[in-house]
Structure 1
């Protein structure tokens, strides 16, 4: 089975400087103007910035915002480390950005994308997808952070499992806290009250991909 990991991709995010010590009224006015206050930290003094709320809304529509590398024009590369949302309107009201340098390694969660579910042999036979891990915690160089890790399900049959050892990771990317033989995803038999022939057959399979 062929699994692959995506290459690092970049998004451009325009940021604007703001005063280091703003009052609540100034922060409120900034948000009313369509900007979100941000703090850029790591690798040097922290910087107070702002970003267009519309830009963040667009980025939030794309999965994997916390593992996506952003170009911040004159401020280099950064990750979004946290987003604070308004409890009433569910919109972003504050963002923390983590500055990146080419030589450092970053510990972060990367989502797993399961490809070709519609072509999976096991799912076509009525099996159900059993996802054990939706994300993997990885240690990756700042210059090679994968936005996602892709797993191809097309040849996975009922009773078969994909383990971590079957997934090809990008160079120098290390998975943390997951054993090599740990299951990532499997196809399980369809549920029924009585054990069907399909279930009996699947239980006898020992093949692992």
Structure 2
């Protein structure tokens, strides 16, 4: 994905406010061996790009004054109630250095799992994203969680995920739970009542 930005020289609250009033968003690029660069981006283009999941977990081609750099979106601030992006942070990417980045989890095949099909259970998504480590070239857009074999009372953990080549999961402490299957309390009570009759 390509992003066009412009260098900005003026900094501070007043300069940032004037920038936002003119339809632009202040930002910064940092990391690597070069000094941080303050930038301005087109607000509407950035606002719509932020709605795309891929924008958050892809290596972006950022063009500044005709020069293209590989960057990764690291952070952004939104206005408390207006649909307004206040600031965006990008980190330079070195092709030879591993990245630590969070990627989205996509859940598949819940409807064919024994938990849902046979027991009318509910599958809860405990996590919607997970932190991984990989080289920039191996960065996946998302990871798929296959729920087809899940039964009641079972959980899927981070260690059970199928990972693309070169990707490792960065878990802090224990093996994180990704999804669980349980029968809703009302359904259990109804089954018990039916059994008594």
Verify the 8 A CA contact 2:127 2:179 in the aligned structure 1. yes
Q: How many Å apart are 1:91 and its aligned residue?
A: 1.6
Measured in 2, the distance between the counterparts of 1:82 and 1:13 equals 15
Q: TM-score, normalised by structure 2?
A: 0.81
| Runs of 4 or more consecutive aligned structure 1 residues displaced over 6 Å after TM superposition | none
- 1:70 maps to 2:60: yes
> Counterpart of 2:127 in 1: which secondary structure?
coil
Paired residues, what number? Answer: 186
* 1:122 matched to 2:112: no
- When residues 38 and 174 of structure 1 are mapped into structure 2, their CA distance, relative to the original with a 3 A threshold, is same
In the alignment, the residues of structure 2 paired with residue 128 and residue 178 of structure 1 have an alpha-carbon distance, to the nearest angstrom, of: 27
Match of 1:95 in 2: 88
Alignment match, 2:29: 40
Q: What does residue 202 of structure 1 align with?
A: none
Is the CA contact (8 Å cut-off) linking 1:164 and 1:179 kept in structure 2?
Answer: no
> Kindly tell me: are residues 165 and 195 of structure 1, through their superposed partners in 2, closer, same or farther at Cα, counting changes over 3 Å?
farther
Does 2:20 align with 1:27? Answer: no
- Matching residue of 1:105: 98
Query: Which residue matches 1:142?
Result: 136
Q: What does residue 195 of structure 2 align with?
A: none
- The TM-score with structure 1 as length reference comes to 0.77
Question: Residues 7-62 of structure 1: CA distance to partner in whole angstroms, max 9, x if unpaired?
Answer: xxxx211112221x335443222212211111100011111111111112212222
User: 1:170 maps to what in 2?
Assistant: 164
Gaps of 5+ in 1: 1-10, 198-209
Instruction: Indicate the larger mover: 38-47 or 110-119.
Output: 110-119
Report the 3-state secondary structure (helix = DSSP H, G, I; strand = E; otherwise coil) of the residue aligned with 1:14. Answer: strand
Larger relative contact order, structure 1 or 2 (CA cutoff 8 Å, min sep 6):
1
- How far does residue 180 in structure 1 lie from its aligned partner after superposition? 8.1
Corresponding residue SS for 2:44: helix
What is the CA distance between 1:113 and its match in structure 2? 1.1
RMSD: 2.4
